[in-house]
Amino acid sequence: MRFDYLVFIGRFQPVHRGQLSILRRALEESRNVIVLIGSANRPRNIRNPWTAAERTVMLRSALSAASERVRFAPLRDHLYNENAWVGVVQSTVARLIAEDGFPGDARIGLISGDDEASAEYLQAFPQWPRVEVPHTDTLSSTELRQHYFSGDAGGRHLLEANAPPAVFEMIEAFRTGSPAYAGLVEEFRFVQQYRKGWESAPYPPTFVTVDAVVVHSGHVLLVKRGAQPGLGLWALPGGFVRHNESIPNAVLRELREETRLKIPAPVLRGSIKACEVFDHPNRSLRGRTITHAFHFEFPTGALPAVKGGDDAAKARWFTLAEVRQLEEHMYEDHFYIVEHFIGSA
């Protein structure tokens, strides 16, 4: 065989026949295959409905006995630190090979489809030769999720035709047996209706928002979302910039509306330590949304009282240690924004 290990990186939301064909090709060309399951530790939403553990079961079931030669590992996002993401990929592959006790230098390669999206992020691994598999005539995971949550006529048949049988059984069981499915359908309908309101615009809209990262005496201020999308998830205080206000004024207004934080505006302004723009194209389900995040720093002192207001169901101070455990429970990219300012564990 050409390789000792071929690495396949994907989100598999859900697994479809095209991805299964790539894995079968990998097993033909390599002694072993490493599958890194991306966007691990993200909260459930209509873009990431299934956990990394659930997607691992999908893949094992689809591969059946062939899965004995496949190693699976979760791969968390680092949206605003590509070097960190690349480093985790490299270290995870090295760890799995070491755990196998493989002797000598392993011949490692990357396998993927021949689409441009794969080509872009795989350029970060020039040390690993790439195997490209021609496109399989199948619906993408994005298209399958669209049919799955919309309940459109014929959608079930399309899912059955494009997902491996074992995967189709799993996602059907999730639809009929998991209480999470109803919440995802509600989120899907909200997002569809939201986007429909902008269909008449001459160009796809770009939204501008603000977020407040308030760090006070080793704590971070978060709010619990009281509405879709992201109902029930923890988030940074923030919202949309009004047409008649500046961005700094918008973040102060949103911070006070959502947390009732009783710190005078001049004190808040004087406590701004940094401001950064976060613009990952897929950061928001509602569409292209660019946010300006302000880092407020209060090194010492008693924590001010806070209370949820406006569209925030609750406001609460979390210790820095607690925040670092909230990746699966935070809205959109807010965990990674906080991580950018306070550092990772």
With cut-offs at 50, 70 and 90, classify the pLDDT of residue 313.
Answer: confident
What value does the mean pLDDT take over residues 6-14? 97
- In this predicted structure, what is the pLDDT of residue 154? 86
In a domain, 183, yes or no: no
pLDDT band per the 50, 70, 90 thresholds, residue 121? confident
Q: Give yes or no for residue 345 having a pLDDT over 70.
A: no
Q: Looking at residues 171-192, what average pLDDT do you find?
A: 96
% residues pLDDT > 70 (the chain): 98
Tell which of 159, 177, 195 closes a domain.
177
* Domain assignment present for 185: no
**Do residues 22 and 165 share a domain?**
yes
Least confident of 46-55, 109-118, 127-136: 109-118
As a whole number of angstroms, the distance between CA 283 and CA 332 comes to 6
The answer to whether residue 194 sits within a structural domain is no
Dihedrals phi, psi of 192, to nearest 5 degrees: -60, -45
Structural domain span for residue 291: 207-342
Is it the case that residue 203 has pLDDT exceeding 60? yes
* Burial label, 246 (beta-carbon count in 10 A; 0-12, 13-18, 19+): exposed
Q: What is the DSSP letter of 234?
A: E
Q: Of 156, 177, 198, which one is at a domain's C-terminal end?
A: 177
118: its two tokens: 């794969």
Query: 345 vs 163, which has greater pLDDT?
Result: 163
Tell me, yes or no, whether 306 lies in a domain: yes
pTM exceeding the 0.85 threshold for the entire prediction: yes
Task: Please tell me whether residues 167 and 214 are part of one structural domain.
Answer: no
pLDDT-derived band at 28, boundaries 50, 70, 90: very high
